[in-house]
Amino acid sequence: MLDDKRSHGLWELSSPPPPPTVALRGAVSADVVIVGAGYTGLSAALHLAKGGKTVIVLEAVEIGFGASGRNAGYVNAGLWMMPDDLIATLGPVHGNRLIELLGEAPREVFALARRYGMACEADHCGTYHCAVGAGGLKQLQARQAQWSRLGARVELLGPGETQARTGASGFTGSLFDPRAGTIQPLAYARGLAAAAIGEGATIHTGSAVTSFARTDGSWQVETAAGSVRADWLILATDAYSAGPTAAIREEQVHLPYFHVSTKPLSHNLRKTILPGGGAGWDTKTILSGFRLDAEGRLIVGSCGALRGVGTAIHRAWARRHIRKLFPQLGEVEFETEWYGKIGMTPDHLPRLHMFGANAIGFSGYNGRGIAPGTVFGRELARLILGEVDIEGMPLPVSSVVMPAFRTIREAYYEVGAQVAHLPIAPA
């Protein structure tokens, strides 16, 4: 179990328990060893085991410990980057391939949840990207035009329809994406783990990797109390990478992000917020989002870390923000609060890295980890199973490149979020 309420908050409170696991002891072997029990690693384990491979997953702490157990639970289609920019950056082959894959990725998430009976509050009811001011609406108009040209049935809503569907006041419009939805993110990670174990995979928690090396044509992965020898190595640690996988973390600039949740709202009040389900977030640079969980708790999140002076600043901002969006709620009582970090790449695109022969991993999800992580894990499995070659992957292979002034930029983001959330900051 994850006992730190400041890191996993509501999700630990409301998630079913994880499947039983133990730490690795002794020397074992497998076809594939996977480091990291988040969405990517667990999806890869599930699909590899289903494909007949012997799979061992090594997790330093617990299933869903990293971003998979801390995020907002938005199952989005696509990436932050607009489709036209994505194609211009990656080229038409990988650009269009990635757009198609991630456009359908939420469907894969909800299909897996249904197929394996995951108790993860899966809600395939769409999301609302809400416009702030004329500039925000112009941005959404461009997104709608580009997605529509690609065949996505996204819908641009006016301010009245936006308020009717979300219950939130003050937005100049919104972009409704019916492909998307929400999920209980930690429960989904635990559901993936249970499904992978059910298909034959083995997961060892409390098993931090201390080293890995390729010797005699296979990978030797060491932990404090054991080792795994395997033909293939998948590194799936992403923003919470440490030890021998730290370069994956250091390639990203971390953006802190926090959430608060209210106690369950009354039936009458919860009917006034997102009555058709889904979730919303805005077009501000320091963005914020809102959704309900299955018990009617309002969850609000934004950039910032709940530590030091930031704790009081962000908590007070959340109260003001809720009063502004949903004045019908009056004063609310918070039940949980927690925060984590989003790994950002310079161009807001994920990365596909090779770490040697038969060693591979995706990383750099930029706050879009649930659906991409699920399908990227599946694609890694297809590669190892021989169903696709490296040229058929959704991203080209790239080298690990360290960003300039990473620590300075991370400090700037944390302080900048505090300034933005002060009462004197512009609305």
- Three-class secondary structure assignment of 191-215: HHHHHHHHCCCEEECCCCEEEEEEE
Helix, strand, or coil (residue 330): coil
Q: Which residue(s) pair with 75 in the sheet?
A: 181
Q: What pLDDT, on a 0 to 100 scale, did the predictor assign at position 4?
A: 65
Share of the chain above pLDDT 90, in %: 96
Q: Are strands 218-223 and 181-182 parallel, antiparallel or unpaired?
A: unpaired
Looking at residue 5, its pLDDT comes to: 62
Q: Any idea which residue has 């970090």 for tokens?
A: 341
Q: Are 371 and 77 in contact (CB under 8 A)?
A: yes
Q: Which CATH architecture has domain 5-126+179-405?
A: 3-Layer(bba) Sandwich (3.50)
Contact 110, 118 (CB under 8 A): no
- φ, ψ at 36 (rounded to 5°): 115, 120
**Rounded (5°) CA angle 34-35-38:** 95
SS3 174: strand
- Specify the residue for token string 């949840």: 113
Helix axes 39-50, 185-198, angle to 10 degrees: 20
- Greater confidence (64 vs 5) lies with 64
**Predicted local confidence at residue 6, as pLDDT:** 66
Q: What is the pLDDT of residues 127-145, one digit of tens each?
A: 999 999 999 999 999 999 9
26: left (phi over 0), alpha (psi -120 to 50) or beta: left
Beta bridge partners of 194: none
Domain spans, the chain = 5-126+179-405
State pLDDT tens for residues 92-136. 999 999 999 999 999 999 999 999 999 999 999 999 999 999 999
What residue spans of 150-184 are helical by DSSP H?
A: 159-166
pLDDT band with cut points at 50, 70 and 90 for residue 223: very high
Mean predicted confidence (pLDDT) in 182-204: 98
What stretch of H or E contains 241?
Answer: none
Q: What are phi and psi of 323, to 5 degrees?
A: -60, -35
Answer yes or no: are the C-beta atoms of 162 and 171 closer than 8 Å: yes
Instruction: Report the C-alpha gap between 76 and 36 in whole angstroms.
Output: 22
Answer yes or no: are the C-beta atoms of 413 and 305 closer than 8 Å.
Answer: no
In a 3-state reduction of DSSP, which class is residue 345? coil
